[in-house]
Amino acid sequence: MKLDTLTLQKKDAKHHIHPFSDYKYQAKPSLTRMISRAEGVYIYDNDGNKIIDGMSGLWCVNMGYGNQSVVNAVAEQMQELTYYNTFFGTSHPPVVKLSEMIAEVTPEGMNQVFFTGSGSEANDTMIRLVRHYWSAKGQPSKSIVISRKNAYHGSTMAGASLGGMSAMHAQGGLPIPGIVHIDQPYHYEACVEAGEAIDRAEFGRQAAQALEVKIDELGEDNVAAFIAEPIQGAGGVIIPPETYWPEVDRICRERNILLVADEVICGFGRTGEWFGSDYFNIKPDLMPFAKGVTSGYLPLGGLVVSDEIMAVIRDAAGEFEHGFTYSAHPSCAAAAIANIELMHQSDIVNKVKNVAGPYLAEKWHSLSEHPLVGEARSLGMLGAIELIKDKENFVRHKNAGEVAGICRDHCFNNGLVMRAVGSKMIIAPPLVCTNSEIDEILEKVWKSLEMTVSSIK
Ligand code: PXG
């Protein structure tokens, strides 16, 4: 029997602990959004309202909802081998196929994959593996991982520690030892701090050089790796200046520091290349991934490791003492295989690069004409707008977070999911969005911005 919305909301409030939620808000059950169905790029709430999903769920439903080929592949796999593990020298056909398919699309020299259930677990795996690697090479002092403020790398103890979210660190004594943070390459924020436009290329170089300064301060012999998202997602779709990544790449090579590109959001087509690393033309040593690998149909993540690192790990004494019950779960692997097949068949990566991405960019950049928008930036199927009070002098609203929250609520009421992050509004729509679906998103953004102007008067 289908329960009515208020009954569901009340039961939900009584027994379900939500992630990243203010429980005072949940105390008003009627405010909880109950999503019951989804198809293509649309979600439907329990009362049948149709909402265009500008966030691909949580940046993951890249190929859209309800693809029958993925559903069928999972059902067939579940009939054949519902579950088995890959510990202690065991394997199974779906993981063999999936590993090969991933190796085919990753950058050159990256052909080995360790599977996890999520992006957080992929990043935990990364820390354990790089420390094991340097120990095996006879340099156990190389153990510190450098990350960035306002980065997001997950919610486990290590994931949240790698992340640079101060609110997360404030709960539970994070970061754990051995992780340090440098500034992010957030150009617009630097303009806000300066109260004027500052040179983007020069800012990018300086932001990268902060890594060099930190390595020298800590001592090269103590630093294992640098981790960064090619484009910061949860931090607010922060697209680094063109000068940033080449400089970071150079610094890591010169100082013998492993480069970890967290591809959990940027991977699997989001930038119009298979990986964000391809877009920025960098050569990472390790790439954590998740989300888009299955388009979120089932949970799966992993860590792509360079052949060079794996050669050392394979020769090391003893085992790599690490793994999860659900590493390479066959049913999840089947979802990933079918999803990647769909990506190839539809040529989606090229479509993002040549059709959807450029179309979104053209429409999105016109938002900068709105009086409330200080900057409108996009890359591939990622976009952000900076809400601003005084454009010319880069002055934000005193209650910027509240203003963005008002805008987010207007978006939702107008039938669009868009996220508010601090003073920013962000989107990451499914890669399969058509031009007319992009038009619909934009029309709703404009309308919601107008309504926000009225609300804050
Ligand atoms: N790395 C990056 C770059 C991510 O964006 C993770 C790791 C962790 O993945 P898991 O699968 O453990 O969640 C993420 C996840 C948001 C939001 O609101 C972002 C994420 C997850 C949940 C919410 O922006 N990113």
- Quick one: which of 451, 428, 88, 398 has its CA closest to 237? 428
How far away, in angstroms, is 121 Cα from ligand 1 center?
A: 11
Max Cα distance, the chain (Å): 67
Q: Indicate the average pLDDT of the chain.
A: 97
Is the predicted pLDDT of residue 1 greater than 90, yes or no?
no
pLDDT given at position 15: 93
380 sits in the region (left: phi over 0; alpha: psi -120 to 50; else beta) called left
**Residue 377: strand, helix, or coil:** strand
How far away, in angstroms, is 38 Cα from ligand 1 center?
A: 21
Residues with CB under 6 A from ligand 1: 58, 118-120, 123, 152-154, 159, 229, 233-234, 262, 264-265, 290, 301
pLDDT given at position 314: 95
In ligand 1, the atom with minimum distance to the C-alpha of 151 is 3
pLDDT given at position 23: 85
- The model's confidence at residue 434, banded by pLDDT at 50, 70 and 90, is very high
pLDDT given at position 352: 98
Is the predicted pLDDT of residue 82 greater than 90, yes or no?
yes
In ligand 1, the atom with minimum distance to the C-alpha of 301 is 11
Burial of 66 (0-12, 13-18, 19+ CB in 10 A): middle
**Burial letters 155-173, b for 16+ CB under 10 A, else e:** eeebbbbbbbbeebeeeee
Residue nearest to atom 18 of ligand 1 (CA): 234
Least confident interval from 9-13, 226-230, 287-291, 325-329 = 9-13
pLDDT given at position 2: 86
How far away, in angstroms, is 426 Cα from ligand 1 center?
A: 14
- Residue of 22, 56, 58 to test ligand 1 pocket, by largest number of atoms within 8 Å of CB: 58
Q: Could you give the CA distance from residue 194 to residue 224 in angstroms, rounded to a whole number? A: 34
Averaged pLDDT, 176-186: 98
Torsion of CA 297, 301, 306, 309, to 10 degrees: -160
- Residue of 264, 265, 408 to test ligand 1 pocket, by largest number of atoms within 8 Å of CB: 264
Q: Which residue has the higher pLDDT, 427 or 318?
A: 427
Is the predicted pLDDT of residue 49 greater than 90, yes or no?
yes
Q: Could you give the CA distance from residue 53 to residue 444 in angstroms, rounded to a whole number? A: 12
Q: Could you give the CA distance from residue 408 to residue 114 in angstroms, rounded to a whole number? A: 37
- Residue of 152, 268, 417 to test ligand 1 pocket, by largest number of atoms within 8 Å of CB: 152
In ligand 1, the atom with minimum distance to the C-alpha of 121 is 12
Burial of 450 (0-12, 13-18, 19+ CB in 10 A): middle
Name residue, tokens 């003893």: 318
How far away, in angstroms, is 154 Cα from ligand 1 center?
A: 5
Q: Which tokens sit at 183? A: 């500034």
Is the predicted pLDDT of residue 27 greater than 90, yes or no?
no
How far away, in angstroms, is 351 Cα from ligand 1 center?
A: 25
pLDDT digits (tens, 9 = 90+) for 218-265: 999 999 999 999 999 999 999 999 999 999 999 999 999 999 999 999
- Quick one: which of 257, 333, 260 has its CA closest to 301? 333
Name residue, tokens 């004027």: 196
Task: For residue 224, give Cα distances in angstroms to 141, 253, 442.
Answer: 8, 12, 43
pTM, full prediction = 0.98
pLDDT given at position 28: 86
Name residue, tokens 């060079």: 308
- Residue of 18, 56, 59 to test ligand 1 pocket, by largest number of atoms within 8 Å of CB: 59
Burial of 103 (0-12, 13-18, 19+ CB in 10 A): middle
pLDDT given at position 423: 96
pLDDT digits (tens, 9 = 90+) for 322-366: 999 999 999 999 999 999 999 999 999 999 999 999 999 999 999
Is the predicted pLDDT of residue 102 greater than 80, yes or no?
yes
Averaged pLDDT, 148-177: 97
In ligand 1, the atom with minimum distance to the C-alpha of 154 is 8
- Quick one: which of 389, 4, 415, 33 has its CA closest to 195? 389
